[in-house]
């Protein structure tokens, strides 16, 4: 019997994965802002992807849109990007990503837009995976990519995501470190989220069930009361489910930092803290709430305070840089030199391509930093980061708890786990030392 008669796929050749068509359109993200979506066609495959966007954007991120905004980005795609990538091999992710960088030529994607680059890079990877008839995580990570990330979910929030109407701390998060499966892990975070309103109401009788940009509850609680509420629910649900669920925070301290005063301004708590006081305050929170995760506790230029905090609590807490590192390998190298932080947020759109994000993840792992794959506060229905987390072996994914644009990533991971069957394992090893 011939190969075709037995239904055996023909061997894929570079001809099949050649990019034959590409275009872009405007769509909307979860905040209702315009963003770019890109479609890539190969001979027999197709990929479509969009770019997310941040509210608390790091000063050193690539520029999301060129001057002229979304329309200029579409124009750049049509005139600069599409003509050059048509004819390239979608299997050559690194080559396409390098081409995007060269075509832009500014060193920060300000000519074609970081969003344009991100959506293109994602769409090319999806088109290649589809051409091969395999899932995206397998296309990028290979047959040995079987480790699933622990979901780190924002349950109670403030800062810019709540338009200044919540606590000063941008995010209070939970992570079910004791979960043995993806489904159990996702569910644990959801149970915490769904129990919280009852406790929030105890402290804030006016709480009306409001949720912020990332689907976290938002209420005008003091920072301490907000942390206490989550702590209480976390312990209750941990006991009930028999799973270790721990707490974390994203201070997004660049948003609190006043460079003229040299202080962090806590509007809700009516407190101002010097960098030294901030260090003491954060250390006290790690102790009081047994925090396993602290993101951006200091502003984005203060590498030294990140190093001091790591020195103090790094054996039990993942001290993470988001605005500090902006997924950039050069910024991470600076951090490695002074031992600043021991975790790094990976937001591919901060650097504009899958390749650049991958390089930073590789560097992080080499130096014992935990890479945390992350969404943005303005998301789309894209499932791509779920695949990137598995492909590149990130032990944690930070992608909210509920809400369509968040749950789409978590549901995709449940599907990935099912697809992998017995091979699927939670990526526990790098996190073991942080467990109780």
Binding range to Zn ion, per CB under 5 A, among 83-91, 177-185, 272-280, 321-329: 321-329
Q: Smaller CB distance to ligand PGA: residue 176 or 400?
A: 400
Question: What distances in angstroms separate CA 171 from CA 290, 374, 390, one per listed residue?
Answer: 16, 13, 24
Binder of ligand PGA out of 24, 36, 49, 57 (CB under 6 A): 57
Binder of ligand PGA out of 16, 37, 89, 250 (CB under 6 A): 250
Residues 274-303 that bind Zn ion (CB under 5 A): 295
DSSP code string of 284-345: HHHHHHT-SEEE--S-TT-HHHHHHHHHHHTTTSEEEESTTTTT-HHHHHHHHHHT--SEEE
User: Active site residue: 160, 225, 347, 398, which one?
Assistant: 347
322 interacts with Zn ion by CB under 5 A = yes
376 interacts with ligand PGA by CB under 6 A = yes
Catalytic, 61? Answer no
CB atoms within 10 A of CB 290: 15
Candidates 390, 398, 354, 362; CA nearest to 134 is: 390
Q: Smaller CB distance to Zn ion: residue 16 or 295?
A: 295
Binder of ligand PGA out of 54, 149, 348, 352 (CB under 6 A): 54
Q: How far apart are CA 395 and CA 239, in angstroms?
A: 24
56 interacts with ligand PGA by CB under 6 A = yes
Q: Smaller CB distance to ligand PGA: residue 42 or 212?
A: 212
DSSP code string of 233-286: HHHHHHHHHT---EEEEE--GGGTEETTTTEEEETTTTEEE-HHHHHHHHHHHH
| Residue with the shortest CB distance to ligand PGA | 54
Binder of ligand PGA out of 91, 97, 322, 383 (CB under 6 A): 322
* Phi/psi of residue 371, nearest 5 degrees: -85, 130
126 interacts with ligand PGA by CB under 6 A = no
Catalytic, 418? Answer no
User: Active site residue: 214, 359, 383, 412, which one?
Assistant: 214
Binder of Zn ion out of 104, 250, 383, 412 (CB under 5 A): 250
371 interacts with ligand PGA by CB under 6 A = no
Sequence-ordered strand ranges (E) for 62-201 = 147-148, 150-157, 171-175
First vs last C-alpha separation in the chain: 59
Interface ranges with ligand PGA (CB under 6 A) = 54-57, 250, 252, 322, 376-377
Residues forming the active site: 214, 347
């Amino acid at each position: 019997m011939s190969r075709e008669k037995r239904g055996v796929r023909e061997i894929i050749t570079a001809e099949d994965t050649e990019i034959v068509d590409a275009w872009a359109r405007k769509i909307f993200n979860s905040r209702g802002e315009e963003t770019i979506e890109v479609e890539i066609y190969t001979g027999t495959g197709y990929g479509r992807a969009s770019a997310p966007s941040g509210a608390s954007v790091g000063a050193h991120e690539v520029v999301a849109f060129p001057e002229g905004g979304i329309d200029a980005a579409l124009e750049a795609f049509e005139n600069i990007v599409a003509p050059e990538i048509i004819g390239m091999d979608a299997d050559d992710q690194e080559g396409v990503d390098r081409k995007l960088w060269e075509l832009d030529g500014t060193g920060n994607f300000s000519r074609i837009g970081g969003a344009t680059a991100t959506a293109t890079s994602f769409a090319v990877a999806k088109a290649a995976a589809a051409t091969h008839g395999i899932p995206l995580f397998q296309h990028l990570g290979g047959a040995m990519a079987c480790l699933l990330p622990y979901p780190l979910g924002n349950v109670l929030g403030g800062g810019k995501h709540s338009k200044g109407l919540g606590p000063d701390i941008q995010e209070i998060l939970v992570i079910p470190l004791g979960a043995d499966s993806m489904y159990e892990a996702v569910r644990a975070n959801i149970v915490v989220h769904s129990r919280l309103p009852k406790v929030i109401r105890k402290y804030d009788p006016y709480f009306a069930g409001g949720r912020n940009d990332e689907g976290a509850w938002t209420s005008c609680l003091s920072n301490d009361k907000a942390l206490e509420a989550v702590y209480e629910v976390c312990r209750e649900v941990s006991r009930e489910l028999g799973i270790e669920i721990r707490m974390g925070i994203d201070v997004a301290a660049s948003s609190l930092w006043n460079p003229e005063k040299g202080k962090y301004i806590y509007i809700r708590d009516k407190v101002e803290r010097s960098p030294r006081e901030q260090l003491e305050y954060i250390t006290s929170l790690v102790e009081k709430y047994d925090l396993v995760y602290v993101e951006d506790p200091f502003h984005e230029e203060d590498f030294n305070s990140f190093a001091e905090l790591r020195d103090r609590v790094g054996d039990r807490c993942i001290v993470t840089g988001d605005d500090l590192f902006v997924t950039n390998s050069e910024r991470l190298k600076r951090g490695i030199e002074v031992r600043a932080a021991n975790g790094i947020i990976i937001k591919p759109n901060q650097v504009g391509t899958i390749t650049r994000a991958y390089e930073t993840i590789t560097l992080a792992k080499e130096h014992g930093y935990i890479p945390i794959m992350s969404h943005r506060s303005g998301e789309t229905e894209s499932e791509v980061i779920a695949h990137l987390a598995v492909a590149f072996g990130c032990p944690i994914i930070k992608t909210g708890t509920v809400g369509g644009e968040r749950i789409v990533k978590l549901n995709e991971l449940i599907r990935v786990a099912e697809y992998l069957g017995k091979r699927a394992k939670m990526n526990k090893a790098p996190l073991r030392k942080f467990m109780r």
